Amino acid sequence: MQSMQNSLRVDLLVVGFGKGGKAVAGAMARLGKQVVVVEQSDQMYGGTCPNVGCVPTKALVHEAGNRRTSDVPQEWYERAVGEVHQITSLFRQGNFDGMNSLETATVLTGHAEFTDERTVRVDTLDGPVTVTAENILINTGSTPVIPDIPGLRDSKYLVTSTELIHRTELPKRLAIVGGGYLGVEFAAIYRRFGSEVTLFESGSAIFDREDDDIAVVAEKILVDEGIEIVTGANVTEVRDGDTGVTITYTNDGREQVLSADVVLAAAGRRPATEGLGLAAAGVRTTSGGAVEVDEYLRTSCPHIFALGDVNGGPQFTYISLDDSRIVLDQLIGDGKRATTDRVAVPRTLFMTPPLANVGLNETEARAAGYRIKVASQPVAEIISMPRAYVVHETRGVMKFVIDLATDEILGATLLSVDAQELINLVALAMRSGVKASELRDAVYTHPSSSEAFNDVIGAVVRSDDF
């Protein structure tokens, strides 16, 4: 760690302490390169995932699922939030110490702004620090989008996901505006904690990226949990009262009103580029505010890279980690690795049970011109998967889309216990060229969730040969 100076010249400057940036910074510092990492907030060392994203939200999924009907909702929730905050504090401090303890690395806390293509001014509590670097990484992540609804932005009952998970008071009535990943996950979490939850989605359906047979099962799980789902909802006004908020919306041509204690804006996240002074560095952005990058994550200035959410790619921590591999290959490797090398990238929505996907679904495969067969089974009917019964979670369905001619796995959708783990196995099989029949006939431990593949892949329900 360098001593504090008013001006620093370094090999690498990382703006934003996210997953990808910290991985590159750590690797370069361990090679003896002079590195500075800048983080605007002392509550965000390590980035979104360990502080306000994956770690706390998935911990809340676990805690909510453990609540018994005899547990008082508020007491259980307050205890759970306290435990989750202990975990995030531990992770945050570990990220800071792990970086700042490296001999050639310095962590600066403060707002960073480019003054030219190689120089950034950092306004710290101890005064401004000017950092000039040979290479610069932009890793500032994303920020929540607040929909342009009259009264919403100024409502004292409005929260973002970050603010909601820091509240120790469980909302009795929670309204969620937005039915994407974030909205569905929070609806499931807070309903299980005991909140009355209404989910507003402006589109005609939630799970609109899924095949209809999957979407029906997934939505039924949420409805059976007691979540009210309003699709085709046009929220027209949010009005504060003394003890809560009134939400006016139209649905099927009728105006309706809902009262709630808290409104969660879950309309997605946008790249956090505001205030970075990118124009001064000659770094171009897209119309959506993301930093423009090529397949090697280089910006319009070749020595400046952008990693993670800020570059407009998929907003997943593991994508940011893979971004770090691409950038390191540019800095110290042979420079061949690119975003175009990524195939079979999985994703998971952490409802209960989780909904995980990789590759093409049935609709997409047919649209792409493939002749396919579809293997699918409800989890409750998979004889080779007793684990679902052991853990009392038999809801859901597993579905594989298989190339009829080659037996290649084109994609899979798993709505089941352990789906977040199983999908990684399927993705690895796809990347490695493992055929569907090989995955079907593999030997798995027992009782496990993966042995479900022995049955499911053989359960063909549709084939273009029929």
Average pLDDT over residues 320-325: 94
74 and 222 part of one domain:
no
Phi-psi region of 195 (alpha: psi -120 to 50; beta: other; left: phi over 0): beta
Order of strands across the sheet that contains 347-349: 347-349, 355-359, 409-415, 397-403, 372-378, 460-463
**End-to-end Cα separation, the chain, in angstroms:** 67
Average pLDDT over residues 397-407: 97
Nearest to 36 by CA among 56, 9, 18, 72: 9
104 and 206 part of one domain:
no
Q: Please say if the pLDDT value at position 466 is more than 80.
A: no
d(CA 126, CA 110): 10
Percent of the chain with pLDDT over 70: 97
> Where do we find the tokens 């990226």?
209
Q: Please say if the pLDDT value at position 51 is more than 80.
A: no
Alpha-carbon dihedral 336, 338, 341, 347, rounded to 10 degrees:
150
Average pLDDT over residues 130-147: 95
Cis peptide before 353 (omega within 30 of 0): yes
| 252 within domain boundaries | yes
316 and 261 part of one domain:
no
Q: Please say if the pLDDT value at position 48 is more than 90.
A: no
| 2 within domain boundaries | no
Q: Which of 111, 303, 392, 446 is catalytic?
A: 446
Look at residue 3 in the predicted model and tell me its pLDDT: 47
| 433 within domain boundaries | yes
137 and 277 part of one domain:
yes
Residue where one domain finishes, among candidates 219, 240, 267: 267
* Domain CATH for 443: 3.30.390.30
50 and 131 part of one domain:
yes
11 and 118 part of one domain:
yes
> Where do we find the tokens 């352990």?
418
Residue where one domain finishes, among candidates 289, 321, 341: 341
Residue 436: both structure tokens together: 């569907």
297 and 364 part of one domain:
no
18 and 138 part of one domain:
yes
Q: Say which amino acid occupies 373.
A: K
455 and 409 part of one domain:
yes
Q: What string of H, E and C letters represents the secondary structure of 211-278?
A: CHHHHHHHHHHHHHCCCEEEECCEEEEEEECCCCEEEEEEECCEEEEEEECEEEECCCEEECCCCCCH
**Higher per-residue pLDDT: 93 or 138:** 138
Average pLDDT over residues 61-68: 84
Q: Say which amino acid occupies 169.
A: E
Q: Please say if the pLDDT value at position 216 is more than 50.
A: yes
Boundaries of domain holding 216? 158-267
Residue where one domain finishes, among candidates 234, 267, 300: 267
Quick check: 213 and 374 in contact, CB under 8 A?
Answer: no
Q: Please say if the pLDDT value at position 50 is more than 80.
A: no
Look at residue 52 in the predicted model and tell me its pLDDT: 61
| 124 within domain boundaries | yes
d(CA 394, CA 416): 7
14 and 131 part of one domain:
yes
Q: Which residues contact 424 (CB under 8 A, 6 or more apart)?
A: 346
* Domain CATH for 250: 3.50.50.60
| 150 within domain boundaries | no
177 and 128 part of one domain:
no
Look at residue 2 in the predicted model and tell me its pLDDT: 47
- DSSP letters of 132-145? EEEEEEE---EEE-
Predicted confidence band at 233 (pLDDT cuts at 50, 70, 90)?
Answer: very high
Burial class of residue 47, CB neighbours in 10 A (0-12, 13-18, 19+): buried
Q: How many domains does the chain have?
A: 3
Alpha-carbon dihedral 178, 307, 113, 121, rounded to 10 degrees:
140
Q: Please say if the pLDDT value at position 23 is more than 90.
A: yes
Residue 446 bears catalytic tag? yes
Per-residue buried b or exposed e for 409-433, using 16+ beta carbons within 10 Å of the residue's own CB: bbbbbbbbbbbbebbbbbbebbeee
Q: Say which amino acid occupies 417.
A: V
Q: HSE (CB half, 13 Å, CA atoms) of 262? A: 23
Per DSSP (E only), the strands in 55-149 are: 105-116, 119-124, 127-138, 142-144
Three-class SS state of 425:
helix
| 148 within domain boundaries | no
What count of other Cβ atoms lies within 10 Å of the Cβ of residue 385?
A: 29
Average pLDDT over residues 16-24: 91
Q: Say which amino acid occupies 72.
A: V
Consecutive H or E run containing 20 = helix 19-30
Backbone φ and ψ for 456, nearest 5 degrees, come out as -60, -45
d(CA 406, CA 387): 31
Question: Across all residues in the chain, what is the average pLDDT?
Answer: 93
| 153 within domain boundaries | no
Of the listed ranges 6-20, 39-53, 380-394, the one predicted with least confidence: 39-53
111 and 196 part of one domain:
no
Look at residue 177 in the predicted model and tell me its pLDDT: 96
Quick check: 367 and 450 in contact, CB under 8 A?
Answer: no
| 147 within domain boundaries | no
